[in-house]
Amino acid sequence: MKKKILQKISIIKKKFGDKKIYLHEPSIHIDDIKSVVKALRDNEISTYGKYTEIFEKKISNIVKNKNILSTINGTSALHLALKILNVNKNTEVLVPSLTYVSTVNAIIYNEADPHFIDIDPLNLSVDVIKLDNYLRKKTIKKNNKIFNKITKKEIKFLLLVHLNGLCCDIDSLSRVLKKYNIKLIEDAAEAFGCFYKNRHLGTFGEVGIFSFNGNKVLTTGGGGALVFKNKKLFKKGFNYATNCKILRNGEVDYDDVGYNYRMPSMNASLGISQINKLNKFKEKKKKLFHFYKKIFSKDDHIKLLIPHKNLNSNYWLNTIIIKKNKKISKKNLEFLFKKQNIFVRSIWKPIHLVKRYNKFQSMNLSQTEKIYKQAITLPSSPFLWR
């Protein structure tokens, strides 16, 4: 078993060469440098400016939605999304425990309670059938609203997370949510460039968010964006992202407590050159996925996760699962890769296993806990495919 794995790691090593290989690095070239230098020369540095608007237009063209607002990072975008949807201390938000901590923190920033739900091990997203059964047993409908029978709080939203550029069957999930009158918010931080049935992930709910952090498919340094279902939500988001600043009788005034969240022009200038290369990045990452697929196909011990048949993925992080056997642990496998200078990482630690967060409501999370023991992500930078 170990010998076979070592053989596979050596094929990967041969492809990537001798230098240290990280999980996902930014691909920065001369066009990116020129774009940022131009912003510096134009004095487009801090606060939003002309490059912020150009970048938002480019996102609009890809996502096919006019209501785009770029932010300083994905975390602030999540905070804002929940804020403008009136998530508050009387609200419970369904959320997978298997996610990056920002998803859950955004719920807590708004004083609401996360309510953890289990994942489908095939796509690291929501287990739709389990969710349906759970909601049938644990909730009660009053005046077309859904309440948790135990806490008596309203369950208004599911905050869906598209991990590693994968997603669940969105059609089935939408049917279940409609049945319970629960609205969808999408954390598509890891899913820019992903299309489910030709529709961009992040555009299925009320609000979706993206991250353009340095480790994402494309980067603005730090950065994020929101996509809103309609103009009304966009206007509300815009207002809160710019300190709720308004002009009243020719004077600056503020109509609520807002935030300084809009993306600075200099960051956006990097986004402009990066987004022009999105398809190129995706093509290379797809080839890398097929390279890994070939290596791990017919492997008795390790399985590579394959995107849903209706998903045109960005292949953000290729993920392998150790099949049910006791011959190798996740730690051992990580060690074997790291010994060859290939940096791999466990999938996110489930948030309900973190002490500060384990007090919140949750369904049985057996699949989340099991997959956490079995899954690691592999280096997936686009430039690794040469």
Ligand X SMILES: Cc1ncc(COP(=O)(O)O)c(C=O)c1O
Q: Which is nearest to 363 in space by CA: 127, 163, 153?
A: 127
- Helix ranges restricted to H, 64-203: 74-84, 101-109, 128-138, 170-180
266: phi > 0 → left, psi -120 to 50 → alpha, else beta; which? alpha
User: Which pair of tokens denotes residue 249?
Assistant: 């009788």
The answer to whether 208 contacts ligand X (rule: CB under 6 A) is no
- Binding ligand X (rule: CB under 6 A), the pick from 51, 55, 100, 372 is 100
Region of 42-50, 186-194, 264-272, 327-335 interacting with ligand X (CB under 6 A):
186-194
Contact letters for ligand X, residues 140-179 (x by CB under 6 A) = ---------------------x------------------
Number of CB atoms found within 10 A of residue 15's CB: 15
- Binding ligand X (rule: CB under 6 A), the pick from 211, 274, 313, 319 is 211
Q: Smallest distance from the beta carbon of 314 to ligand X, in angstroms? A: 13
CA distance 188 to 165: 8
Q: Looking at residue 349, what DSSP letter applies?
A: P
CA distance 386 to 250: 58
Residue closer to ligand X, measured from CB, 135 or 167: 167
CA distance 53 to 269: 10
Region of 12-20, 36-44, 57-65, 99-107 interacting with ligand X (CB under 6 A):
99-107
Residue whose entry in the numeric block shows the structure tokens 């993206």: 210
The answer to whether 213 contacts ligand X (rule: CB under 6 A) is yes
**Residue sitting closest to ligand X (CB):** 74
Q: Smallest distance from the beta carbon of 324 to ligand X, in angstroms? A: 27
- Binding ligand X (rule: CB under 6 A), the pick from 87, 146, 170, 189 is 189
* Footprint of ligand X on 260-299 (CB under 6 A): none
- Binding ligand X (rule: CB under 6 A), the pick from 103, 148, 269, 374 is 103
Number of CB atoms found within 10 A of residue 43's CB: 10
- Binding ligand X (rule: CB under 6 A), the pick from 187, 217, 227, 284 is 187
Residue closer to ligand X, measured from CB, 263 or 384: 263
CA distance 29 to 381: 14
* Footprint of ligand X on 36-95 (CB under 6 A): 73-75
Q: How many residues sit close enough to ligand X to count as binding (CB under 6 A)?
A: 14
Helix (H) or strand (E) holding 52: helix 50-63
DSSP lists the bridge partners of residue 92 as 113, 155
The answer to whether 102 contacts ligand X (rule: CB under 6 A) is yes
The answer to whether 139 contacts ligand X (rule: CB under 6 A) is no
User: Which pair of tokens denotes residue 152?
Assistant: 């008596």
Q: Smallest distance from the beta carbon of 74 to ligand X, in angstroms? A: 3
The answer to whether 380 contacts ligand X (rule: CB under 6 A) is no
CA distance 220 to 192: 13
Question: Which residues lie near ligand X (CB under 6 A)?
Answer: 73-75, 99-100, 102-103, 161, 187, 189-190, 211, 213, 224
